[in-house]
Structure 1
Amino acid sequence: MKKQHIILIIILVSIEGFSQDVNVFFSKADTFFRTYVDEGKVAYSDIYNNQSGLNELMKLAEAISVSKEDAEVYQAFWINAYNLSVIKGIIFNYPTNSPLDNAGFFDKTTYRLAGKNITLNDIEHKLLRAQFNDARFHFVLVCGAVGCPPLINKAYLPNTLDVQLETQTKKAINGSFLKVNTKKKRVEASQIMEWYKADFTMNGTTEIDFINKYRAEKLEGKYKLGYFQYDWRINTQ
């Protein structure tokens, strides 16, 4: 067999192996979220008592390789990996009342994912926010607290990712992410919008512009924007 043919076979086998691994990860992640998540709340007690499914997913995620050039696969993988790692961190410290009760939960504790030893903050700020200018990440990365946007009971998948990002952003903006007083022309937003103001004001837009892009009932006229306190209690069932 010619050398070129051998190289081509190796490349094709490698690509097929990667495809199988990442698809298995997405499939098993989807099953996991459907089993343990309901209306944004996580059955931590059930997961704690049977950790095999979560541990299998985390083990699968160790060896997966993703590239930001394949943006949908890359983003979907890291969003799911983030949400699973949050759950893993809470289970490691279970029982706990809040992720903040555990020192280094976001910036010190590392997880072995896609060949990297990485923190939750690294995933959010370095691998996603720094690579893609998309404020919608804030509505799908779930930090394990009540104040976070709700965790959905399915995996984020490459072929449905944009629709899922749009859907979760619209749900948040038309839901508990905002408190609107139309009479006083005042809107209070989750502190997420305060902490990440730059993400919501890209390209010369304002926070109100971002809100109106996704809100069914537009904020007409001059609204004053404030922020309400974040609820760091654990998002348990």
Structure 2
Amino acid sequence: MKKYILIVTVLISVTIQAQDLNSFFSKSDAFFKANVKNGRVAYSTIHKNQGDLNSLLELAKGISVSESDANNYQAFWINAYNLSVIKGIVDNYPTKSPLDNAGFFDKTTYSLGGKQITLNDIENKLLRAKFNDARFHFVLVCGAVGCPPLISKAYLPNTLEAQLEKQTKIALNGTFLKVNTKKKRVEGSEILKWYKGDFTMNGTKEFDFINKYRTEKIPSDYKLSYFTYNWSLNKQ
């Protein structure tokens, strides 16, 4: 009898967790659709009415995801990161840049997925360190103009692979690179510099990674340098 009760209890717990995770994805999707346009965030509007954002983060607090279930895990933490960046901006609003707020990335903690965690730890310990996927850099949005654009929808487990591919292509065919064919030079976002190891894993070269996603391939004899990151707030 006790064994039966235990099994039922576990099944109920798993069901509730699944429902909470699905609810988190659904409500995140609605939130991004309502507050993000062309990669810019309506911080002023969110600041005036923080109920939806706070409700989402409260829901995220109790969700448990396992890295063995990679799509749910990655989608949850990518959305949690992007929502927490918005929360950090809103808590300090008005502000001109996330860098104007001390400890924004490495000191301020958020209660998410049963953890007290910083933005840097989500990016570096929960995602990059576990999956070795450089495409994370094109979906984790730090609240600045120099970041990849924040999409007006949630990252969902069943569409995650396609979303990672799409956002990487958008960035590397767009604002992350400035190509000068006359001088045979390429200027890239400093993200490519700061995380060079991610783009050169397994002996690949930076242009190998870039050209995988570029419509117009960059010749191997071009020189790569980096332009200064724009930390201005990505507000509407």
Q: TM-score band (shorter)?
A: over 0.9
1:41-190 to 2 correspondence within 5 Å?
Answer: 41-190=40-189
1:105–1:221 distance in 2 versus 1, CA, 3 Å:
closer
Matched, 1:207 2:198: no
1:35 is aligned to 34
* Aligned counterparts of 1:113 and 1:193: Cα–Cα separation in 2: 28
Indicate the RMSD between aligned Cα atoms, in angstroms.
0.7
* Aligned counterparts of 2:99 and 2:41: Cα–Cα separation in 1: 17
Kept in 1, the 8 Å contact 2:207–2:220? The answer is: no
* Aligned counterparts of 2:210 and 2:68: Cα–Cα separation in 1: 30
Matched, 1:228 2:227: yes
Q: Secondary structure at the match of 1:187?
A: strand
Shift of 1:166: 0.3
Q: Provide structure 2 residue ranges, at least 5 long, that are not aligned to the other structure.
A: none
* Aligned counterparts of 1:121 and 1:219: Cα–Cα separation in 2: 31
- Aligned AA for 2:176? F
* Aligned counterparts of 2:63 and 2:177: Cα–Cα separation in 1: 37
Shift of 1:220: 2.4
Q: Provide structure 1 residue ranges, at least 5 long, that are not aligned to the other structure.
A: none
* Aligned counterparts of 2:218 and 2:143: Cα–Cα separation in 1: 30
Shift of 1:5: 2.3
Kept in 1, the 8 Å contact 2:179–2:185? The answer is: yes
Kept in 1, the 8 Å contact 2:61–2:112? The answer is: yes
* Aligned counterparts of 2:110 and 2:11: Cα–Cα separation in 1: 29
Q: What is the TM-score normalised by the length of structure 2?
A: 0.99
Shift of 1:6: 1.9
Shift of 1:4: 2.9
Shift of 1:221: 4.0
User: What percentage of residue pairs aligned between the two structures are identical?
Assistant: 70
* Aligned counterparts of 2:3 and 2:159: Cα–Cα separation in 1: 37
- Give CA-to-partner distance per residue, 1:199-231, whole Å, 9 cap, x none: 000010011111100001111241100000000
Shift of 1:183: 1.8
